[in-house]
Structure 1
Amino acid sequence: MCRCGYGREANPPWEVRLRRFEQLRARLRRASGSSSDPSGGQVPAANQPPVATPESAPVVPEPVTEEVHPSTSSRDDADVPHALRIAAAWSWRLIVIGLVGWALLKVVGTIRIVIIPLAIALLLSALLAPLVGLLLRARLPRSLATAVVLVAGLAAVVGTLTLVVNEFVKGVPDLSRNATDGIRQIQEWLKTGPLHLSDNQLNSYIEQGEQWIDENTQALTSGAVSTAATVAELLTGALLVLFATFFFLRDGGRIWRFLVRLLPVAARWRVDDAGRASWSTLVAYVRATVLVAFIDAVGIGIFLVVFDIPFAFPLAALVFLGAFIPIVGATLSGAVAVLVALVDSGWVRALVILAVVIGVQQVEGHILQPLIMGRAVAIHPLAVIVGIAAGVVLAGIVGALVSVPLIAVLNTAVRRLAHRRTPEVPPDAVVVAAKAP
């Protein structure tokens, strides 16, 4: 035990030592003029001005930062209204899409002599594919089944055209005579009717018509030359349609698998599923259109025969072909039938045929289309009208014929691709994936 008299204070506890150490450090800091108080603030030296404490210092407001939308990439974008940024983003994207669409239309217009026959061949393949499948189930070779169906379809078309042309040739003299009588009746009505035109006025109008024909002879001749070129293009297109239809029916599956293999592996199954669904839609559309067209042709043709209207069979065939252009085609073919009835049989029978055409169109629009076409493909009538108008502007009659099935196929494909699900993997898709590099 220590004898210095301090007792237990000779070895002070660590708290006392720590306190003394802090006091010594505070003295050294005050001596150097930069010591700190226990709260962490600066203690001014003797020769330094007093420093304001946080309580006495003026409160400086912090700068207000505006909230920036996460879609902006700079401060300048943040100053632009959000609605204007969205409108600008939509605008340039729509401009790009429009330019791409314009370029595609230019390409299609340049090679339309190839594109149009291929489109018609696809429609014919969709129509004849079930018959080929029936013969394949009967154990016929694929090439033989395709050839039989194609030859039978070609024979049916040629036979129908032969009957139409023969009946038309037989009825032209009577129709010409009736048309002449009808023109005389119109002239008499112009004289005795509310217009009260004189013979001199009628003769002047006729002379003006003849003068116009004489002045436009060159234009008519050039039109005939272009018509000859059009006939050559039609023959070339017809041969291409036959060959393309044959190979679509025989090798359609192989061609589709080849196209699918050109895509990335991750997208093959989805595209294959969308393509097969689109093909099913096209087949259903063509079947439904043929059935509706047949019902329209039979309904109007029966009344044409009953009322002894000339060209009953050609007019029924025209109604059948016109029904492939929804809404518009049936109206135009029915107008031709009414006009023939007016020229040949007078206005009474023409009104009867007009009532028949309107009745058949109402049955088609309210019964046949919802029951048959509605199950095959659901397209709004406005989309049909706009598609037909665009098809007529771009490609004439062929455009009107192809526009509606094209819209139906695109509708199915887009819906299938946009639907987020794992498509059912068909056997062919498995083969495609297995053969992929």
Structure 2
Amino acid sequence: MPTPPAVTPRPDPVPASVRAWAGWSWRALVILAALAVGLWLLSVVKVIVVPVAVALLLTVLLSPLVRGLHRHARLPRAVAAGTALVLTLALVIGLLTLAGRSIVNGIAELGEQAREGFAQLTDWLAEGPLKLSTAQLDDYVSQLQDAVASSGQQIASGALSVGVTVGHVVAGALIALFCTLFFLIDGRNIWAWVVGLLPRGSRERVHQAGRRGWVTLGAYTRTQILVAGVDAVGIGVGAAFLQLPLVVPLAVLVFFGSFIPFVGAIVTGSVAVLVALVTQGWGSALIMLAIVLVVQQFEGHVLQPFLMGHAVSLHPVAVLLVVTTGSLVAGIVGALFAVPIAAVLNTVVLYLHGHDKFPQLGTGDHVPIRAKGHPVLDRAVAAAAEAESEAQATREEQADAPDATPGGSPVTS
């Protein structure tokens, strides 16, 4: 029977590089689609996700205080957590009350000065380079009034949406306080339960990566509070030097706004300059602008590189891009949480790929061991059982092996 001729395979017309790029492309599309679905789900449950994220920030901030009250003041952990949370609420409410009183006392003066500033602006438009006539200015003002009057329905719907938003904020605040209290009381057991849901082989690495991410989050929170305090004190002292109204509200606004890197400092600084312009004119506005720039330069060239860079290990360019992306995706909330999320992910991913930023933490287990059969992190118990099993197997192998030397002579004990 004749042998069939060998069939020569046709060469693949698609180059190997194109096939490789095609493989990477569809995988990248699947990953992007999964990320898009995840972000959509987060947007659906943002009323829950955002308060839990705030609770995590408060927990990492208050944990040292709770530990101090528990160890040194001998308070039960639940009492220590409640005391720390009440003190924090009292501080925040006190700052907001002080700022509110300053606003109430100075709003009349500010309104009068704003009217004077508007009159000066009108005079400058009429007598300055633009040379606008009084009739033109009156026409522009009447058009503005008509536009405001015709948008009454939009204003009413906006007020309704604001009411809904206020309701969401109140509900979110209650959820955040509730979660913070129980994270402070029983956070280790909650984390142990979460890690225990994972496959046994991956629990230890996830636990150690989570510990390092928690340290990074704490370093970011404490450093950001320090940076915000420096910004608030610097701009507040400058406003007090210029004898501007609403100094305390401006300082409080700068403090809270500085938690959004770059963007918050620019916006709050602009508010301070605007107040100076309205109340005291161009000269004070330029001086206030110089003060704001000096404070921001000190923050950008001293505090951010040395403190924040060491805390989160992110380049300032990366911080700017992350904040911009977060604001585009989720607005103010995205800008607020973008940097801590990026910092924690950076630490966790580096650890999972073999680069430990915190080798001093070691591999000690700081999660309490729970009862057998509970789906939690029981590394110590599992390791002891495995060591005992290996020792038993070694003893059995030695018992079954012939007691002889390589030369065949019996071994005497």
TM-score (norm 1): 0.80
Match of 2:75, SS state, is coil
Note if 1:156 corresponds to 2:101.
no
Q: Quick check: 209-218 or 349-358, which moved more?
A: 209-218
Aligned to 2:363: 425
Q: 1:396 & 1:168 partners in 2: Cα distance?
A: 27
Note if 1:207 corresponds to 2:142.
yes
Aligned to 2:411: none
Give the alignment partner of residue 122 of structure 2, picking from 179, 187, 195.
Answer: 187
Q: How far apart are residue 64 of structure 1 and its match? A: 12
**Structure 2 CA distance for partners of 1:178 and 1:429, relative to 1, 3 Å:** closer
Q: 2:75 & 2:44 partners in 1: Cα distance?
A: 40
- The one-letter amino acid of 2:266's match is T
Q: Quick check: 322-331 or 132-141, which moved more?
A: 132-141
Q: 1:133 & 1:428 partners in 2: Cα distance?
A: 14
Note if 1:409 corresponds to 2:331.
no
Give the alignment partner of residue 58 of structure 2, picking from 124, 144, 152.
Answer: 124
Written as runs of structure 1 = structure 2, the 5 A alignment for 1:255-266 is 255-266=190-201
Aligned to 1:375: 310
Q: How far apart are residue 371 of structure 1 and its match? A: 2.1
Note if 1:176 corresponds to 2:111.
yes
Give the alignment partner of residue 359 of structure 1, picking from 291, 294, 300.
Answer: 294
8 Å Cα contact 1:257-1:428 kept in structure 2: no
Q: How far apart are residue 420 of structure 1 and its match? A: 6.9
Aligned to 1:321: 256
- The one-letter amino acid of 1:152's match is L
Q: Quick check: 423-432 or 221-230, which moved more?
A: 423-432
Note if 1:136 corresponds to 2:70.
yes
Q: How far apart are residue 214 of structure 1 and its match? A: 2.2
8 Å Cα contact 1:265-1:433 kept in structure 2: no
Give the alignment partner of residue 146 of structure 1, picking from 81, 92, 107.
Answer: 81
Q: Quick check: 425-434 or 178-187, which moved more?
A: 425-434
- Tell me the alpha carbon deviations over residues 278-313 of structure 1, each in whole angstroms, 9 at most, x when there is no partner: 000000000000111111111111121111011111
| Paired residue total | 367
Note if 1:81 corresponds to 2:11.
no
- The one-letter amino acid of 1:374's match is G
8 Å Cα contact 1:147-1:246 kept in structure 2: yes
Q: How far apart are residue 63 of structure 1 and its match? A: 9.0
Q: How far apart are residue 396 of structure 1 and its match? A: 2.1
Identity %: 46
Q: How far apart are residue 200 of structure 1 and its match? A: 1.4
8 Å Cα contact 2:213-2:348 kept in structure 1: yes
Q: 1:95 & 1:370 partners in 2: Cα distance?
A: 35
Match of 1:79, SS state, is coil
- The one-letter amino acid of 2:213's match is S
- The one-letter amino acid of 2:218's match is V
Q: How far apart are residue 430 of structure 1 and its match? A: 8.5
Where in structure 1 are there 5+ consecutive unaligned residues? 1-61, 67-74
Match of 2:378, SS state, is helix
Q: How far apart are residue 221 of structure 1 and its match? A: 0.6
8 Å Cα contact 2:305-2:316 kept in structure 1: no
Give the alignment partner of residue 242 of structure 1, picking from 164, 177, 194.
Answer: 177
8 Å Cα contact 2:69-2:80 kept in structure 1: yes
Give the alignment partner of residue 44 of structure 2, picking from 95, 110, 114.
Answer: 110
Note if 1:342 corresponds to 2:302.
no
8 Å Cα contact 1:164-1:313 kept in structure 2: yes
- Tell me the alpha carbon deviations over residues 236-291 of structure 1, each in whole angstroms, 9 at most, x when there is no partner: 11111110111111111111110111111111111001000000000000000011
- Tell me the alpha carbon deviations over residues 60-81 of structure 1, each in whole angstroms, 9 at most, x when there is no partner: xx99989xxxxxxxx67x4321
Aligned to 1:222: 157
Q: 1:375 & 1:382 partners in 2: Cα distance?
A: 15
Aligned to 2:405: none
8 Å Cα contact 2:189-2:368 kept in structure 1: no
8 Å Cα contact 2:54-2:176 kept in structure 1: yes
- Tell me the alpha carbon deviations over residues 389-417 of structure 1, each in whole angstroms, 9 at most, x when there is no partner: 22223332222111111111111111111
8 Å Cα contact 1:269-1:429 kept in structure 2: no
Note if 1:391 corresponds to 2:326.
yes
Q: How far apart are residue 155 of structure 1 and its match? A: 0.3
Q: 2:23 & 2:215 partners in 1: Cα distance?
A: 37
Note if 1:276 corresponds to 2:211.
yes
- The one-letter amino acid of 2:152's match is T
CA RMSD in angstroms, aligned pairs only: 2.2
Where in structure 2 are there 5+ consecutive unaligned residues? 370-376, 386-413
Q: 1:133 & 1:369 partners in 2: Cα distance?
A: 29
Aligned to 1:93: 27
Q: 2:203 & 2:355 partners in 1: Cα distance?
A: 15
- The one-letter amino acid of 2:62's match is L
Q: 1:260 & 1:352 partners in 2: Cα distance?
A: 55
Q: How far apart are residue 126 of structure 1 and its match? A: 1.4
